[in-house]
Structure formats: structure tokens, C-alpha cells
Amino acid sequence: MYTWLIAIPITLLLLLLAWRRPNRQRLALRLLASAVAGISLTLLVFPPTIKQTINPSVAILLTQGYSSDTLEMLLKQQEAKPVVYTFGTNADDAKQLTDLYTLRQLQPGLQTLHLLGYGLDEQQLKVLEGVQLVPHLSEVPAGVSAVQWPQEVKLGEAITVAGKYKAEGQTKLYLKAAGQLRDSVEIKPDSSYTFSLRNTSKLTGRFVYTLLAKTGANTDTLGQVPVQVAEQQQLSILLLASAPSFEFKFLKNHLGEQQHKIAYRTTVSKNIMQSEWVNMAKTDLSRISSKLLQNFDVVITEPQALQSMSAGERAILQRAVTDDGLGVLTIATAPANSRSTAFFTNFQSNRLSQQDTRNTRAGWSGSEVNVTASPYTLVNTTAVNSLISEQGNNLLAGARRAGWGKVAMSYIPQTFPWQLEGKDDIYASYWSTLLSAIAKEQVKEKFWEVETPQVPQPNKPVILSYTDYTLAASVAAPTATVTSLADSVSINLPLAQQTHHPSTYSGTFWPRSNGWHKVENVGATPYFFYVQEQSDWQFQSIAERKAATEAFVAKQSVIPAADVVAYTAKPVSLIWFFIAFVLSSGFLWLEEKL
């Protein structure tokens, strides 16, 4: 009201000055420009406001990934316009929040909060206890939606990075290590693809691979793949051959060079056996006994050697598998129809050729090679784990669990030609794959692990757990130290005993920087884990926030009170008054000069 009391005399004065000018040309335009100049000048000095209906009990919170269309539709549905806030993202005409405590202070009467985007994490949601949360979550964006890789592999084993990728355009994924691209896969536009990238490290140590995605001219780093490559486990292996052969001779020498303990027994003629030992003391191999088998992790044999054993020896070998976890690999040229050896050779097989041998392409953990195989193949079933595969979903070698141990069969009778051809790496990788798959599992009495999350990141909680099956129940919780290898900064990690697992203790660690970290305590082997950049593996953060938000909504029991409508004065933008004043006054100045 007061604004117009000031605007009227100013406008009348300008109109009077325009009217009294002797030049009567463009009088109407002068009068109009004078009126506009007077009113706009007054409104610039005394900005007007408009009355707006608001609901102080309702608000909208925008988080990363929110949809502007969803926001627009939600605003149209509200009778009284709620206040719009942003957290962790930017938006026009919205109030930026640095933390959610500020939201409760700015709107103490808040009862219902509409949440848009990917949601909030568990810690942030705790601040909203007592508020009815209404989710409007966005779909997962294009990119990696799941990924996994082994934390540790043995030297010679392939490092396999597998996951799912949703592509909008033509995309190519690369696995990069030591500055070089090691493997790649191409993904078609508008598709979801299950990818698998592999590389075999020839050195032991801790390595960080990188997964890259190239779409058009843009190359993005999806995340880091930290892997530890350890020395091969030194196994004790018993070779039982039905007759002298190059296959077992070359295998004995190769495994001996790998520092495995080898005992080799072969039948030279009826009732005459020859025995050899590598990297181990001599022991009696003439008869298979429980005491003898306790010294071995793996037995490699043939169907004929199994049949030549006595029933008692086969029973002892079977108990060593089921009760003690021994692994037995049978190298065959044809299915063994003998019921006496069925425990070791009862695998479903198909004949693919009428010839005695056939050439095919064998593949395993990142390696492929042409092989001379028997005319048979193992049928790929749910009970059989694939060790060596070929085209058509068939298996050249497979294993199945039997009690605590495993039995396996291979239809590749001869691998020694690879060594004669100079393919030492292929030969080593093949046997490393078979042995690591069936060897007696080593029982760990003390070990560390990262419980959550899959990808540790700075300034986010990492739950580390320590299991010690040797600790007595009354012993105090062990103490541990976490060290960042990047800057050698160490902190003490308090541990608490888990209620339902008395042998396991856990603690929460908040990393401050990325890179390798080491956690250790007295009597246990140090455990290494890698903290990644916050920009790595965005899908994990999105999935965790969405899951946490959905869980929070599912268990909330808040019943909001009836909406309370209030009113607020919203200032009108001054830009329009400024433009009107400049144009009108400019016209009056220019018109007078004409």
C-alpha cells in the first residue's frame, strides 16, 4: 500500500513534465514511458512481494540422481507448495543443505519428507528418525551394476574380473594393468551384458588393476581392482600310474621344480612297482594306507591304477576323500565302467567322435589352447564344477565334491607335448588350475577379512572382523592396529566379540585416505586391504543408498498429523522492473534529443 503512495506522486510528476514540453510530437509515447519509468523506479526501491501458500510439515529433498520430471510432477500434486532442499547435488530454486541436521532446524515442524534421487545412506537416515519418508527413487544409471574379483590368487592363476554392465551406447570395457591393456570386451548399445575380463600375473605381490569403459571418444575409469598374488601352496602330491608314461614323468619333474613334494609309484610289470620321491623323504608306497594318505593333499591316478588296487585300498582312499578332504584326479581316455572305481570315476559322459582321439580347443581361467583329447567329454551338470571347458558347454575336466574332499576326472590324457612345444606357461597354468581346485583345503584358525563394504572408501566405515578358533571364551578381546601403507600412519582398532559367533571379533575403521592398508595383531598373519577413491565404483554407493532408504521406509511407523497450511511472502524478481526502467528512461532521454 505504501509503495503506491510513493509511486503515484513520482509518476504524476513525470507525466506533468512530459505534458508541459512544447514539442507535442510522440506525446502519447512520452506519457507512457514516463508512467512506466515512475512505477518501475518505485518498485526497484521498494520491491513488492506475493503471497504464497506453504505447508511447513512437508518438504522435498533432492539427492544425487533425482529426476526433474519427477520433481515437477510432485510439485503439481501438492496443494500448498513445499520447500525444496538439495543434499549432495545442485538444483535451481532449491535450498542447499550441507547436512541433514540443518533441515530439522530450518523446518522444525517437518512431518513428511519426499525423497528424490538415489536416496541416503544408513548414517544419514538416522537423522530423519520420526519423519515420514516418501521415496521417489530413480532407476540405476548406465554403467556397472555389479562386479566381483578374487582378493587373492596363487601365482599362475588367472585374475578374473566379472560383473554386469548396462550400456546406452557402443561401449568397450578394458582391464588395465601396469600401464597396459590386458583384456577387453565390447558391449552393444542399449543392452545389459555379463562381462568377464582376465589376466594372469607372473609376479607375486600386491597389484592394482583398473577397469575402463570407452564410449565414443570418452574413456571413463570405473574403478580399481586390487589383487594380491601369493606363491603357490606347496602341496604333497601322490602320483599313481598303471604303467610308465611320459605324461606322469613330465608331470613329476614339473611339480618337483615347483617345489611341491612328490611321491611317484608306477607298475613296471606284474607285482613289480617302481617308486620315486622328489622334495620329500622316502616312504613305503607299496600299499595304500590311511597313514600314507595323511601326508598328501592330492592323488593323481588312472582308472587302471584304481582297478589294480585291492578293495581295501580303494576303501581307504575313499575315506581319505570324504573324511579328511583329500583330492583325487583321475586321468582317463574313456569312461570307467567298473563298479569298483565308481566313487572316483562316476561322471556322466558323452562320446563325440568314433576315433581314438580328437582335436579340440580347451579353455580355463584366461587361457586357451589346442589339445588332443579323448573322444569323450564330461556332461556339464550342477553337481560338477567346470575345470577345463570346450565348445558346446562340454567339459574336458570337472570336479565334484565328495564329503570333505573332491574327486575329479580329466579327458585330456597327454599334456606333456606342451612342454616339448615350448608352451611352459600353458602347461603350468593348466596343472595349477587343476591342483588348486581339488587340493585338500587348508584350515585357517586365525584370519582377518573385510565384512563390509565390498569396496572400502575414505571417510566411510569399514567393518573388519578377526576370527580366532584357538581363543578361549574367557580371554579378553584381542587388540589390533591398522596402518596406511601410503603414509605409515597407524591407529589402534578396538574389537568387540560378536554375540552369535564367539570366535569372531569385529571393529569399525574409518579410513582417511585411499591406498593399501594393513591390519595386524599378535599371533596372526597381517591382512592387507585396499581403500579406493570415492569416485570409484559409483554403482556400489548408489545400490547401498537405495537399499538403506528402502529398508528405512519399510520399517518406519510414523503417522503424520494433518497438514497445516501457512502463508509466506515471496519477493518478486527485480530484473523485470530494472529492464522496464532502463527501456522507458532510455526512450525519454533519446526522444528529447530528436
Let me know: does 398 contact 384? Beta carbons within 8 Å: yes
- Residue 345 has what pLDDT? 92
- Residue 2 has what pLDDT? 53
Closest CA to 197 of 167, 160, 170, 172: 160
pLDDT for residue 325 is more than 70: yes
Element containing residue 461 per DSSP (H, E): none
Whether omega before 453 lies within 30 degrees of 0, making that bond cis, reads yes
DSSP secondary structure letter of residue 575: H
pLDDT for residue 15 is more than 80: no
pLDDT for residue 374 is more than 60: yes
pLDDT for residue 55 is more than 70: no
- Residue 568 has what pLDDT? 62
3-state secondary structure of 580: helix
Per residue, the 3-state secondary structure of 248-316, as one string, reads HHHHHHHHHHCCCEEEEEEEEECCEEEEEEECCCCCCCCCCCHHHHCCCCEEEECHHHHHHCCHHHHHH
- Residue 31 has what pLDDT? 73
Using CA atoms, how far apart are residues 248 and 182, in angstroms rounded to an integer? 33
Q: What is the mean pLDDT of residues 483-506?
A: 90
Q: Cell digits for 80?
A: 500448498
Using CA atoms, how far apart are residues 197 and 426, in angstroms rounded to an integer? 18
pLDDT for residue 72 is more than 80: yes
Model confidence at 463, in pLDDT bands (50, 70, 90)? very high
Q: What is the mean pLDDT of residues 28-44?
A: 74
- Residue 104 has what pLDDT? 82
The residues facing 220 across adjacent strands are: 213
Model confidence at 129, in pLDDT bands (50, 70, 90)? confident
Q: What does the pLDDT look like over 441-450, one tens digit per residue?
A: 887 788 899 9
Element containing residue 19 per DSSP (H, E): helix 2-19
Closest CA to 148 of 163, 133, 164, 127: 163
* pTM greater than 0.75: no
- Residue 58 has what pLDDT? 86
Model confidence at 569, in pLDDT bands (50, 70, 90)? low
- State what percent of residues in the chain have pLDDT above 70: 90
Q: What does the pLDDT look like over 507-516, one tens digit per residue?
A: 999 999 999 9
Q: What does the pLDDT look like over 227-262, one tens digit per residue?
A: 999 888 889 999 999 999 999 999 999 999 989 999
DSSP secondary structure letter of residue 140: P
- Residue 558 has what pLDDT? 59
Q: What does the pLDDT look like over 287-321, one tens digit per residue?
A: 999 999 999 999 999 999 999 999 999 999 999 99
Closest CA to 159 of 201, 221, 189: 201
Let me know: does 360 contact 391? Beta carbons within 8 Å: yes
- Residue 421 has what pLDDT? 92
Using CA atoms, how far apart are residues 572 and 403, in angstroms rounded to an integer? 79
pLDDT for residue 151 is more than 60: yes
Residue environment code for 130-159, b if the CB has 16+ CB neighbours within 10 A, otherwise e: ebbbeebbbeeebbbbebebeeebbbbbbb
Give the CA angle between residues 153, 155, 158 to the nearest 5°.
60
Choice among 124-128, 250-254, 565-569 with the minimum mean pLDDT: 565-569
pLDDT for residue 594 is more than 70: no
pLDDT for residue 7 is more than 80: no
- Residue 130 has what pLDDT? 84
